[in-house]
Amino acid sequence: MTESPTLKLRLGAIAHGGHTVARHEGRVIFVRHGIPGELVTVRLTDSGENAKFWRADVVEVHEASEHRVPHFWEAADALRHRDPVGGAEFGHITLEHQRELKAAVAAEQLTRLGGMKAEDYNFPAVQAVAGQDDGLGWRTRMSYSVDAEGKLAMSGFRSNTLTAIDSMPLAHPAIERTGLYTMDFSGIERVEAAVSSSDDSTVLILLAESRPGAARKAARQFPEGVNVAAFSQQGGSAADGRGELQALTGRSWLQESVLGESFRITGEGFWQVHRAAATVLSERVMELTEPARGEQIADLYAGAGLFSLPLAKAVGPEGRVFSIEGAPGTHADAKNNLRELRQASVIRGRVERVLRQVARDAQLDAVVLDPPRAGIDKQVAAEVGSSGVSRICYVSCDPASFARDTARLTSRGYELAHMEIHDLYPHTHHMESIGLFVRR
């Protein structure tokens, strides 16, 4: 293998995606695993002569930032591992500074793409999740590859190289306790692990087999009490639905409890990843949206009904909540979770296709939306923006699409009256924003 070239660089500001921006002979280089201000040696990972910009990983630090700490996980540490696995790319930065960097990215995106002016707007700080002092053990959902030896593995950023792993410090301890890193997953393509954030002991493992019978064989290795199911997927991740589940041991669903409400989530259904996320987001969405009795509210990209359920209870039988979700498995969960509330209309379909009809037939007072990373498309922004609702509560896991959609909604007569950001993905560059838009 030819050695990739290295360069000595001073790292500049943080950019969306978790990179710092550096320059070399007039060319922009997006550098991972660094901290703004550091003097480092990087290895170029993407450096085509004609490329608009290059990419690189830090391999040596000459002048370290005061915010640098030893990475807690060797497999993800660029200084100890040649092809660091993804998932903890901020693990070399103190949690406090991670949050400062995320706030800077959100403000930069809102200024550049969202049309907001720094002098007119107080960009929010990123709030830590209560009780998360080390930022570890929070992931209730994990997705692993399997290497040629049948061991659990992960790949690096934009890399196909698999690294076998023997722990994942961000995973919920109940997932780690199953002992899955020492098991043989020969004949299995993907392993997904989920644990209930309310009931710490219930783990559900999903196995996608590439060899018939492999899932049944692999399932026998798990200790008693761990639920295992086989799943097959036609494209996308387990959250995109269209999967088929077959319970092998125990059951193929988890029970979640959020602010006193119960939710049943099947293995393939979407649920928030951080163990505290469902509670934090549900609480904040309800407080910001302020649903009143008798109101009509659309919950777009509604998942298994996390927000639809408390919204439906708040508007009462004389109100109406439209819970719109595209993935079949997740929609089925929502139907089940909302079955006792006749004011809830649970609709399966892409928001792009369903919303127009709902907005025409109903008299919407408010919209709650929580789209995937890509945000909402132009047409949905136009429909929401022209629906006449007095408030829009937008939950977002991507600051760039949130900023772009902010510009779309403000151009249709709304203003961003309140915004907050929660650190629901510690040790990664991701963040969760909530914006309340009100009619001007």
Binding site for ligand SAM (CB under 6 A): 239, 270-272, 281, 301-304, 306-307, 324-327, 330, 350-352, 370, 372
| Least distance in angstroms from the C-beta of 395 to ligand SAM | 7
Residue 258 burial class via C-beta count within 10 angstroms: exposed 0-12, middle 13-18, buried 19 and up: buried
The gap from C-alpha 312 to its chain's centroid, in whole angstroms, comes to 25
The response to whether 325 counts as a known ligand-binding position is: yes
Give which of 414, 391, 419 is closest to 121, Cα–Cα.
419
Hey, which residues does 152 pair with through a beta bridge? 146
| Least distance in angstroms from the C-beta of 383 to ligand SAM | 13
430 φ/ψ angles, rounded to the nearest 5 degrees: -80, 160
User: Which tokens belong to 90?
Assistant: 């901020």
How far is residue 100's CA from residue 94's CA, in Å, rounded to a whole number?
Answer: 10
Q: Which is nearer to ligand SAM, 109 or 308 (CB)?
A: 308
Q: Which is nearer to ligand SAM, 36 or 269 (CB)?
A: 269
Q: What angle do CA 192, 268, 243 make, to 5 degrees?
A: 100
**Residue pointed to by tokens 């301890």:** 173
Q: Which is nearer to ligand SAM, 18 or 310 (CB)?
A: 310
Residue of this chain nearest to ligand SAM (CB atom): 303
Q: Could you tell me if 391 and 62 are in contact, meaning their C-beta atoms sit under 8 angstroms apart?
A: no
Three-class DSSP category at 276: coil
The gap from C-alpha 138 to its chain's centroid, in whole angstroms, comes to 12
| Least distance in angstroms from the C-beta of 264 to ligand SAM | 13
H or E segment to which residue 416 belongs = strand 414-422
Residue 143 burial class via C-beta count within 10 angstroms: exposed 0-12, middle 13-18, buried 19 and up: middle
| Least distance in angstroms from the C-beta of 334 to ligand SAM | 9
Q: Which is nearer to ligand SAM, 301 or 402 (CB)?
A: 301
Q: Which is nearer to ligand SAM, 73 or 322 (CB)?
A: 322
The response to whether 200 counts as a known ligand-binding position is: no
How far is residue 195's CA from residue 179's CA, in Å, rounded to a whole number?
Answer: 14
Catalogue the active-site residues: 397
The response to whether 77 counts as a known ligand-binding position is: no
| Least distance in angstroms from the C-beta of 271 to ligand SAM | 6
Going by DSSP bridges, is the β-strand pair 152-155/344-348 parallel, antiparallel, or unpaired? unpaired
* Residues tagged in the binding site annotation for S-adenosyl-L-methionine: 272, 301, 325, 370
* Residues tagged in the binding site annotation: 272, 301, 325, 370
